[in-house]
Structure 1
Amino acid sequence: MNRYTLTLRPTAPYDLEMTTDNQPYFRKGDGPSAAAYQRLLDLGEKLTVATVYSTGTAAEPVLSVTLQGNELNDTEISVAQDQLEKVLGLHQDLQPFYSSAATDPVMTHLTETFHGMHQSGALSVFETIAQAILGQQLSASVARVIRGLMIETYGPSLTVEGFTHYAFPRPQAIAEASVEELRALKLSWRKAEYLQGVARAETETAGGLDRVSELEDSEVVKEITALRGVGGWTAQWVLSRALGRPNAFPLGDLALRRIVSQLYFGGETITDSQLADFSTRWSPHRSLATSYLFAALRTGRGQSVTYVP
């Protein structure tokens, strides 16, 4: 097993621990400095375990990376670096979002509470849609268990220093599984069919699902929602996490509606139509605003300031 080292310099401000807090199925380890993040990267024909440590500060961020794999060449190391830059959101510029939040006391408080939190990305459109299907109409804890089960059942794996790491399943593995086999992951029959259908769309379509990266937002939504079992909520997550579009907003998310109601409407029930209108205050940075709102909901932090009209 060979070891390779990299140094990455994110766009400041950057906080590794907060950025990776919403990726619970990847390992957090102990390290000599701030929190470590470990993930098995699928480079195609080879796998490598990336261990990332924060060795700088939020204002002057530096990430030290160790790659462990079998005889990686320069091209494969470059692919690994590109993947890390995407999943860790290294090159997002938070300053325009932070500046726009200055007129919104609630969002200002969230940006102070989660200062340096970038939005983590997904490596593919397929991965984003698959995770969304698994999480539909389930609590976060149940969805996490099912995701972990799928990853450990169908994902490629590599054991390093006595610990087995798993990467997200390749589309071919899901496409070749039967609906009955997918149902063993605690999926409903319909979800198993949806998941298999998306995997087959990825493997059987020229350019795969990532071909939508060349399209405008509205065209992406049209293409993605043409897939069976995929609606507008999932399409917005594709825009945000897989394609890095800045102004996506997952209307229809009950948790998002709840945290906005709590912070801005005194807990009063609001509709998706009301939320859509209200969310224009965060344009053109609604993707980041969504991440900060979910961070508040997930951690219970940053909720001491509420909106006063």
Structure 2
Amino acid sequence: MEIFMYGETEKNHLRFSDETMNRLIGSLGHVERAVEPDIFKALVSSIISQQISTKAAETVKERLSQKAGEISAESISGLSFDELRSCGLSGRKTEYILGAARASIERKIDFNALHSMEDQEVIDTLVSLKGVGVWTAEMMLIFSLQRPNVFSYLDLGIRRGIMRAYGLKELSKTDFELLRSKLTPYCTVASLYFWKLAGMDNWESVLYQEEWI
């Protein structure tokens, strides 16, 4: 399993830029998140996971892997609509995945070329695919391309983590953008910590420790 790569340079920048980030990093240590370098495979996984539980998504992915073998545009295109549906996919998600595969095979989108594009260009390219929105494209930037400065206002987990970290009852887009400017150029790394905090049951203990590393 590959993980998102970052180190002391990024953490030190965030710790010196913001006292709350200093506390989070000091308390949580090094947060790891898995990545999928194959962006087509990552995109298929993301489409599968939309609006269903993690457990259900894993079941569908396992069934798809059994039918298709290694997930690629070619292997997906080799399956019929009904074969894909039999993996547990909805009709709409089946259309989205087949559409992404066709876009790759017909060279409408060169997924390998995304690695050399700027962040906004990647987003613009991916959202041209049916079923792919800005949030999905932003997640591809993070969990496949490992871009260091992605900060998604559309992500509920990130917003929840920020509100917990800073003691906010709501988070305006203006305040979000102010925080973005403070945490740039390592907003992605900050996001890993906000996600971690958002998913913790004992999150208050993280914020109110008496001593920080």
What residue in structure 2 maps to residue 278 of structure 1? 179
What residue in structure 2 maps to residue 187 of structure 1? 89
TM-score, with normalisation over the residues of structure 2?
0.81
2:153 is aligned, of 228, 251, 271, to 251
| Separation in structure 1 between the aligned mates of residue 82 and residue 174 of structure 2, nearest angstrom | 39
1:135 touches 1:143 (CA, 8 Å); kept in 2? yes
2:17 touches 2:183 (CA, 8 Å); kept in 1? no
* C-alpha spacing 1:237/1:257, structure 2 compared with 1 (3 Å): same
The one-letter amino acid of 1:148's match is: E
Which stretch shifts more, 92-101 or 296-305? 296-305
Cα distance per residue 1:259-295 (max 9 Å; x no partner): 22233244x2435565344333321111111122222
2:23 is aligned, of 78, 89, 109, to 109
Q: Is the counterpart of residue 132 in structure 1 residue 34 in structure 2?
A: no
Offset at residue 235 of structure 1 (A): 1.3
| Separation in structure 2 between the aligned mates of residue 119 and residue 285 of structure 1, nearest angstrom | 15
What residue in structure 2 maps to residue 33 of structure 1? none
For CA contacts below 8 A with separation 6 or more, give which structure has more relative contact order. Answer: 2
1:234 touches 1:250 (CA, 8 Å); kept in 2? no
1:113 touches 1:301 (CA, 8 Å); kept in 2? no
The one-letter amino acid of 1:123's match is: P
Cα distance per residue 1:142-188 (max 9 Å; x no partner): 333333333344334xxxxxxxxxxxx22222122222222223222
Matches within 5 A, 1:188-267: 188-205=90-107, 208-266=110-168
1:220 touches 1:235 (CA, 8 Å); kept in 2? yes
| Separation in structure 2 between the aligned mates of residue 276 and residue 186 of structure 1, nearest angstrom | 39
Cα distance per residue 1:65-90 (max 9 Å; x no partner): xxxxxxxxxxxxxxxxxxxxxx2345
* C-alpha spacing 1:206/1:197, structure 2 compared with 1 (3 Å): closer
* C-alpha spacing 1:136/1:170, structure 2 compared with 1 (3 Å): same
**More helix per residue: 1 or 2?**
2
Count residues with an aligned counterpart: 208
1:120 touches 1:241 (CA, 8 Å); kept in 2? yes
| Separation in structure 2 between the aligned mates of residue 110 and residue 150 of structure 1, nearest angstrom | 38
**More strand per residue: 1 or 2?**
1
| Separation in structure 1 between the aligned mates of residue 23 and residue 65 of structure 2, nearest angstrom | 36
Identity over aligned pairs, percent? 26
Give the unaligned 5+ runs of structure 1.
1-38, 40-86, 157-168
| Separation in structure 1 between the aligned mates of residue 143 and residue 50 of structure 2, nearest angstrom | 17
Secondary structure of residue in 1 paired with 2:35: coil
Offset at residue 138 of structure 1 (A): 2.7
Offset at residue 118 of structure 1 (A): 4.5
Which stretch shifts more, 189-198 or 112-121? 112-121
Which stretch shifts more, 109-118 or 235-244? 109-118
* C-alpha spacing 1:222/1:253, structure 2 compared with 1 (3 Å): same
TM-score, with normalisation over the residues of structure 1?
0.58
| Separation in structure 2 between the aligned mates of residue 177 and residue 139 of structure 1, nearest angstrom | 25
2:190 is aligned, of 276, 289, 296, to 289
Give the unaligned 5+ runs of structure 2.
209-213
Matches within 5 A, 1:25-36: none
| Separation in structure 2 between the aligned mates of residue 188 and residue 283 of structure 1, nearest angstrom | 38
| Separation in structure 1 between the aligned mates of residue 60 and residue 20 of structure 2, nearest angstrom | 34
Which stretch shifts more, 124-133 or 108-117? 108-117
2:123 touches 2:137 (CA, 8 Å); kept in 1? yes
2:103 touches 2:109 (CA, 8 Å); kept in 1? no
